[in-house]
Structure 1
């Protein structure tokens, strides 16, 4: 039987997470250039399904080492599923030459879930295996609308895939967590570290992919200025979470015991980090749109963003800030009214961002985030992340 105890994330798991984040960057590509409102909604649905699949492997890694044979071979097969899903992502709702894209994506998801359930069952003790058997029923039921939607396509695919996600999350939270006590956390240090790493990778890779999209046009001064402003923006997003919220959540997880620890892990991490990742992807999508407009324009600042682009940029940032608020709340650290005001200000600035040239619009947003980062210093200093306070 696999061993227990505190441990660190292994290089193999970082490799796994890199493949997963590559899949996320392909969701940004799927949502379009320029962004399309329907594709943005479908992209969120794809993210929720794939996040749910990845989260299952994190819980598996919390239960047993996944970098040792024979587990590693099966996890490699799951990585191949993520990779195939990434490759076909732009055709997730489209007909294309060759094999059917939606069906390939659905089959890749089924592979991910089937391998996870089999390995988690093997690694678990008798009580955990009971929970996995109950949860497996919901998972298998979710595959039916997933495969049916892939065959039907269009609007039916959207609704059926949304139903598949609801069945999966219902089995997770309604059956396992509410009735059976949830999944056990073996190593809270590992759990917090793995989530932090995947968020860092997502922040870096998503914005890198968006910046690379401008190609040789980055040598234009306005495009280069927009890229640097985007870098400042991502650095601020990183700081807001990892200097303030992340240490608080990790501290809460480490201090909790028993079922309280399991619930903090499931709520603040498995659930609470989803809007953080979604905010990163939407902000990266808006950033990509900004660079595209600047590179194509004769004027230095570029044309104003259309509503989908400005919603992605400003709304994605607001979603990320609300995600940090959710992580605080679900960790049991609470949230002040000022935190909520800070999170919704980008939404209030949407009309401003829509009216300004693209370069100025991202500049306004980055300036606001710099102010948010510097706010604790204006209040009289800031302790290092290793000794967090409740701000």
Structure 2
């Protein structure tokens, strides 16, 4: 959507522009998702063997739909202008409450509020706030206003399914049947959320700024990687009051190495190439690419990062065991599947992103993914430190081979990105110089730095 395609309802709002970047307020909004990701990891760690991991991933998928609505709204209209910050602050509060309810989304505590109902209510409220903000932004556009109703339908269907999941199964089923009914309704709600985005791909809203869209999704991946660092930092042995040992220091260094390799695999060149691909297409083709490469494929990147953080958290519990017994025990199949499987899922999503944006994936990259998956049973029989060391060797080797094989393409992309950033910096510096000169001429009694009042 170009800037002249939207009739903004009030002059106090600023429509999105093709060159728009992420605002600081949008980064502030993302802080609440940091807590949400941490709570997903913590809830999974406590109930990993009792199906808690599946429930946490379902919750993550619905939280993702709420986040993508933030990203879409911030692309249509600036999030820091007019009344838009009020919508964002209100949504932050509701998402925080929803994040608090994550551990009880499927299993209620006797003395507390029903977690499933709380989460369903919060989801409905936050999506309604986002819909209300979108209506406020496009209410004077005669072409988009009628289509708003198509966008408004799915959140109510999803909330109704979540309410059914919280209320109905416990009255009709018991035991495993109740859990299966709840999970089935949640899966149906997620299918509606993602299926309706496919159906509504031509509803009139498109990606105004390719740079904004790519940057927003890159930053949420950074937040997920940051959550992995938090899991590493608050792991056993690194908290105050526990002794610092060489195994803990070694595990911390290995954990950082894996996180750095995950960053490198996506951000070093693929994120740049994906943004370039999004810039090159327009109209329906841009809608489809933004949806497939970012809305769909960045979710498994986030999920894989959280799974790795969960596995790292559990392995650190063994390495930080004060008795030292955990250092010699086998990791086990479940923990190895989470640790290695999380990295493999992340790499699979990155390769899918590469295939969708660049239309090619090498055999070496596919082979590397197969090796990661095949090493899960190997890691299961190793002690914690050995399993983590093996993962570091493999993922660093994958990142290194990938970089060396495509070094010429990588150098071209990075140089192009550097030249673009330098040109933008020079243009911004020149604009600021002219602006300060104009301000100083209009107010000669003030020095330029005082006259500068944006």
Pairwise TM-score range, normalised by the shorter structure = over 0.9
Which residue does 2:130 correspond to in 1?
116
| CA contact 1:210–1:285 (8 Å) conserved in 2 | no
After TM superposition, give the deviation of residue 265 of structure 1 in Å.
Answer: 0.8
Counterparts of residues 151-170 of structure 1 (less than 5 Å): 151-152=167-168, 154-155=178-179, 156-170=181-195
Counterparts of residues 127-138 of structure 1 (less than 5 Å): 127-138=143-154
Change (3 A) 1:20 1:225: same
Task: Quote the Cα distance in structure 1 between the aligned partners of 2:161 and 2:31.
Answer: 29
Which residue does 2:87 correspond to in 1?
74
Which residue does 2:297 correspond to in 1?
272
- Kindly indicate whether residue 306 of structure 2 is the aligned counterpart of residue 281 of structure 1: yes
After TM superposition, give the deviation of residue 210 of structure 1 in Å.
Answer: 4.2
Which residue does 1:25 correspond to in 2?
38
Which residue does 2:269 correspond to in 1?
244
Counterparts of residues 365-380 of structure 1 (less than 5 Å): 365-376=391-402, 378-379=404-405
Task: Quote the Cα distance in structure 2 between the aligned partners of 1:380 and 1:161.
Answer: 42
Deviations 1:285-334 (A, max 9, x none): 00001100111252583422222211110000000000001111222432
After TM superposition, give the deviation of residue 380 of structure 1 in Å.
Answer: 8.0
Larger radius of gyration: 2
Task: Quote the Cα distance in structure 1 between the aligned partners of 2:246 and 2:142.
Answer: 63
After TM superposition, give the deviation of residue 182 of structure 1 in Å.
Answer: 6.4
Which residue does 1:105 correspond to in 2?
119
Counterparts of residues 133-152 of structure 1 (less than 5 Å): 133-152=149-168
RMSD of Structure 2 on Structure 1 (CA): 2.1
Change (3 A) 1:228 1:88: same
- Kindly indicate whether residue 191 of structure 2 is the aligned counterpart of residue 183 of structure 1: no
Structure 2: which 5+ residue stretches go unaligned?
Answer: 1-7, 9-13, 171-177, 418-454
Which residue does 1:36 correspond to in 2?
49
Q: Secondary structure at the match of 1:183?
A: coil
- Kindly indicate whether residue 307 of structure 2 is the aligned counterpart of residue 254 of structure 1: no
Task: Quote the Cα distance in structure 1 between the aligned partners of 2:184 and 2:315.
Answer: 31
Change (3 A) 1:127 1:366: farther
Question: 2:330 is matched with which residue: 304, 307, 311?
Answer: 304
TM-score, normalising length: structure 1 = 0.93
Task: Quote the Cα distance in structure 1 between the aligned partners of 2:74 and 2:348.
Answer: 28
Question: 1:226 is matched with which residue: 245, 251, 258?
Answer: 251
Deviations 1:229-266 (A, max 9, x none): 00100000000000132111111011112221121111
Task: Quote the Cα distance in structure 2 between the aligned partners of 1:186 and 1:380.
Answer: 31
Task: Quote the Cα distance in structure 1 between the aligned partners of 2:329 and 2:297.
Answer: 35
Task: Quote the Cα distance in structure 2 between the aligned partners of 1:112 and 1:158.
Answer: 22
Deviations 1:195-254 (A, max 9, x none): 111111110123313430322446122122112100100000000000132111111011
Change (3 A) 1:162 1:388: farther
After TM superposition, give the deviation of residue 357 of structure 1 in Å.
Answer: 0.2
TM-score, normalising length: structure 2 = 0.80
Task: Quote the Cα distance in structure 1 between the aligned partners of 2:406 and 2:123.
Answer: 49
Relative contact order (C-alpha < 8 Å, sep 6+): which is higher?
A: 1
Change (3 A) 1:117 1:64: same
Change (3 A) 1:285 1:302: farther
- Kindly indicate whether residue 97 of structure 2 is the aligned counterpart of residue 84 of structure 1: yes
Which residue does 1:11 correspond to in 2?
24
Which residue does 2:380 correspond to in 1?
354
Task: Quote the Cα distance in structure 2 between the aligned partners of 1:378 and 1:169.
Answer: 37
| CA contact 1:145–1:160 (8 Å) conserved in 2 | yes
Deviations 1:337-389 (A, max 9, x none): 22222122211001110010011101100111111121145548454452489
Q: Secondary structure at the match of 1:65?
A: coil
Q: Secondary structure at the match of 2:360?
A: coil
Number of residues of Structure 1 aligned to a counterpart in Structure 2: 386
After TM superposition, give the deviation of residue 139 of structure 1 in Å.
Answer: 2.3
Query: Which stretch has the larger CA shift, 294-303 or 111-120?
Result: 294-303
Query: Which stretch has the larger CA shift, 334-343 or 124-133?
Result: 124-133
| CA contact 2:304–2:342 (8 Å) conserved in 1 | yes
| CA contact 1:233–1:369 (8 Å) conserved in 2 | yes
After TM superposition, give the deviation of residue 61 of structure 1 in Å.
Answer: 0.3
Q: Secondary structure at the match of 1:98?
A: coil
Which residue does 1:201 correspond to in 2?
223
